[in-house]
Chains A and B, each alone.
Chain A
């Protein structure tokens, strides 16, 4: 089975731990509990041609990514950059953060995730989407679980293809 390392990163309070809990344990907790470093857990995902074991790193939120310890990114196959649709400041550094992450982990597949879909209207999503420097890849709700499986499945599939080359 293919082992992959994926980091969940982004600003604080955007729902990284909630996505982690939703994906790993199929749970959601309304309380916001801060992460100060990193938590790691794993889950297997079936993709078209085999199984992928995803080691998910839930990294403490930082206003900008250069504050995250560089060692966390060692050997990363995938990075999920999360921002919060209800807090404009959480996508403020999107472009510079992505550019930094690409330099740090050039081989990693990066997905930009707009989280907390359950808290905004389609009109608001459209406006936010139009104002972003970089388009997001997927809109999720860790609370309802919407698109969470798809996010990880699509990422696993891409990582599988990358690593099988």
Chain B
């Protein structure tokens, strides 16, 4: 039988190093598990590691009774210490002399996965923000109409309690979208509906992504948005009715989202097409925006439409 304790210590030792520094940064002692510090017994190690140099006064000023200071995820480019490390610093007393105890934890391999994940997430998020920004600016500037002007003026006020006339907001988003995607979007409204400033950014993101997903699935777009109710006193609730119709552009899209490769898309009714595309949009939005939507059929007054569903936006704040 192997001695697991010894094996563990030997294994972990490769990823940890303890270095004892004096008050000018010379190495008094080191276990040298990660890098050799023998060059630094007569000169300060700070001269070669800018990170240490920049905080040496701080770590030198901590006392014996202070808690250790942690610097996580330090990306080091020092030749013998290349990678991503967590460093902790504390003061210890040895034979009546105080030293700085520098503990090095090599998390390079662990953080590599984190970097990859972070890169993918950030790339996606930046792309989303930029596409939104572009279509928003198109909506704002070339169309010099009074509604859009009013919306910009209200936005610039940055008043969290400012109310917006919702139609102006929707119209500007749709105009921009129609322009960018070279498609036609019709919009019908029913009376004045207000939305609070605090919700407007989220609302635009949701609307943009909803349209983007639906357009990805259909050859011809005919969308009607019909706000039916909104309570401006409730910041987290907004009802909208959406109507989508047109032939499916890509049957594989539905097979994929339904996880059903044998699905006969020709047999789907228009209502089902619409429902599925919206369901997909909802899933995507819920995933990306930490919010969720409810799908529910409307009352009889909408029976002449192909299909109409009410979306309830619930934003977690």
Contact digits for B29-58, partner A, Cβ 8 Å, 1 yes 0 no: 000000000000000000000110111011
Contact B73 A36 (CB under 8 A): yes
Which single member of A32, A42, A86, A88 contacts B122 (CB below 8 Å)?
A32
Q: Is B183 an interface residue (CB 8 A)?
A: no
Q: B143 contacts which chain A residues (CB < 8 A)?
A: none
Q: B304 contacts which chain A residues (CB < 8 A)?
A: none
Q: Is B186 an interface residue (CB 8 A)?
A: no
**Closest-CB distance, A105 to chain B (whole angstroms):** 12
Q: Is A35 an interface residue (CB 8 A)?
A: yes
Contact B50 A41 (CB under 8 A): yes
Q: Is A38 an interface residue (CB 8 A)?
A: yes
Contact B57 A40 (CB under 8 A): no
**Closest-CB distance, B91 to chain A (whole angstroms):** 15
Which single member of A60, A69, A74 contacts B58 (CB below 8 Å)?
A74
**A75-B58 contact given A13-B122, A87-B126, CB 8 Å threshold:** yes
Q: Is B269 an interface residue (CB 8 A)?
A: no
Interface residues in B, total, Cβ within 8 A: 34
Contact A42 B119 (CB under 8 A): no
Interface residues in A, total, Cβ within 8 A: 34
Contact digits for A1-18, partner B, Cβ 8 Å, 1 yes 0 no: 001010000001100000
Contact digits for A60-74, partner B, Cβ 8 Å, 1 yes 0 no: 110000000101101
Which 9 pairs, one residue from A and one from B, show the smallest C-beta to C-beta distance? Answer: A37-B73, A55-B54, A40-B51, A75-B58, A13-B126, A39-B75, A34-B119, A42-B50, A87-B129
10 contacts between A and B (CB under 8 A): A32-B122, A34-B118, A35-B75, A37-B75, A38-B75, A39-B74, A41-B50, A55-B50, A74-B55, A75-B54
List the interface of chain B (C-beta within 8 A of A): 50-51, 53-55, 57-58, 69-75, 77, 84, 111, 114-115, 118-119, 122-123, 125-126, 129-130, 133, 136-137, 155-156, 158, 201
